[in-house]
Structure 1
Amino acid sequence: MAETPLAVLSLSLCLLLQARAASLGGSRGCLGDSECCTPRELERAQARLGKGSPPGPQHCPSSPQPPHRDPHCQGQAHGPPNSRSVAPWRYREDCDSTRFPRLLLQAECLCPHCVSLEPPHGRDRRGNSVRIDANTTVYYRRPCPGRPDAFYLEPQLYPVAVACVCVLPRS
């Protein structure tokens, strides 16, 4: 018995949908307002998206951290790369309870200028310290239209400051 192209297409589509359901752990994708999910299904989708992320809950701090610029801007000979850099930075928490992941770390330049490589590692005003951003995809929890008990995840590109570098000033 010869199979028609429509039968082959239907079988392929069924197999594809079964594979997708298995990869989602039995839950739907919750991506887009056409795939509304209960809060429990949304948690499963977020857990699936977070594979490879640090385990445990991500809580937002009660008050945002103020921006910090060190008026002394001194380089260090020891420590992690962000403190030994000629454009030192620290990480601050960027938290949003409607976003997944809720917590992102953003690099924050500590000095407006570069730090000299020569001891005593003070300011070098010949260069400026600037952030380097990289875009990552985050997911925002949105209410489903007409369903107050259901939500979906909306993907968006989000800039994350990953480090600071020393550059020549613009002329």
Structure 2
Amino acid sequence: MIDYDLKKIKAVLFDVDGVLSAETILLSSEGEPLRTVNIKDGYAIQLACKVGLRIGIITGGNTAAVRKRYEGLGVKDICMGAGVKITAYEELLQRYGLKDEEVMFVGDDIPDLQVMKRVGCACCPKDACHDVKSVSIYISDRIGGHGVGRDVIEQVLRAQGKWLCDEAAFGW
């Protein structure tokens, strides 16, 4: 269980590689990374969007497939090619008038550290690097790409009384 007042959370932001997709990726013949995604993560993300929890992506990657996947789930804030993630994070705070303590960020590696040190609730998969684990309030029992998103979103929505609360839960 996440040891944080999850009722405060207004936004959950995710890195992609190593969090919503596995650390090991295939490369297409054109050199584009091919990622796997978790269907249960997808369900939780689309439900969170429907019930008013802001979901965002901040990733250093920049592929059309990632954008298409998360836009299709209802994610409005997809920051791709974010070489310095703290800049994208600060832009999101400003855009929506959010405070650090109202944000959860789920990351797994060094480029995520600046954001993780700022947010109220830093989380990571169990296979995150040591430095990320050391700043995380919660370390999921799932490895990246295998349900970390579902794990944290379900906990937030349950705490807020929005998990399985209406018909939105029973469809895509």
Normalising TM by the smaller chain, what interval?
under 0.3
- Could you say which structure has the higher strand fraction? 1
Higher relative contact order (CA 8 A, sep 6+): 2
Bigger radius of gyration, 1 or 2?
A: 1
- Could you say which structure has the higher helix fraction? 2
